[in-house]
Structure 1
Amino acid sequence: MSRKVLGILAVIVVIVIILFATGFWDVNQTEEGALPDVDVSAEGGELPAFDVDSKEVVVGTTETNVEVPDVDISTDETQVEVPVVGVKDNGEE
């Protein structure tokens, strides 16, 4: 907005304040306000149903060969158990 418009709005606000302050305008409440009456009736909802077919995660161990350092700094293969993760489909092994 331009300064001219802001100046006009400021003058209007000052005039309104002066009219209320001098008693030229007087506002009296003539009737009480009230909120509307609202009746709400509702029935309980229902959650959706789902049929989920999921795969089964299988965790176990298997034997494998890994290199393990020997005390004399040579390497030998030693059999150890390491974790294994697999997926079963519909109860199949």
Structure 2
Amino acid sequence: MTNYDNDKKVYHTEDTSRKSPMGWIIGGVALLALGAAVIYLTDVDLTQTAELPEVSVEGGQMPAIDVDVADVDLGSEEVTVSVPTIDITPPQEGEEADDLADNIDVDVDVDADLDVEMEPEQN
């Protein structure tokens, strides 16, 4: 006698991890058809126009507000500032224009009593 239960061969296995989107597609089409039927089969008619109620407003009072702000005192002070003078010697005949920068003298005499903090230059 032959035992057929042990001699079974599997020629095809079904992969159950992947699911077909066909159910979603059919469900979506059914919902669209249902929505179209509801819109197409519904008839809305205006049987009476609307009217707003009459409203009367009397009296009233705006709220009282007390606001305290900071006092700011502005002042002015007259300061004399020296404007620098610039002496430029135009180039002589036959002299290049690039050499013109060598002939510029700037004299600045600053003697103002101002509270200014300067940061030192960083090279």
TM superposition score category, shorter chain reference: 0.3 to 0.5
Ranked by relative contact order (alpha carbons within 8 Å, sequence separation 6 or more), the top structure is 1
Say which one has the larger Rg: 2
Higher strand share: 1
Give the TM-score, by structure 1 length.
0.41
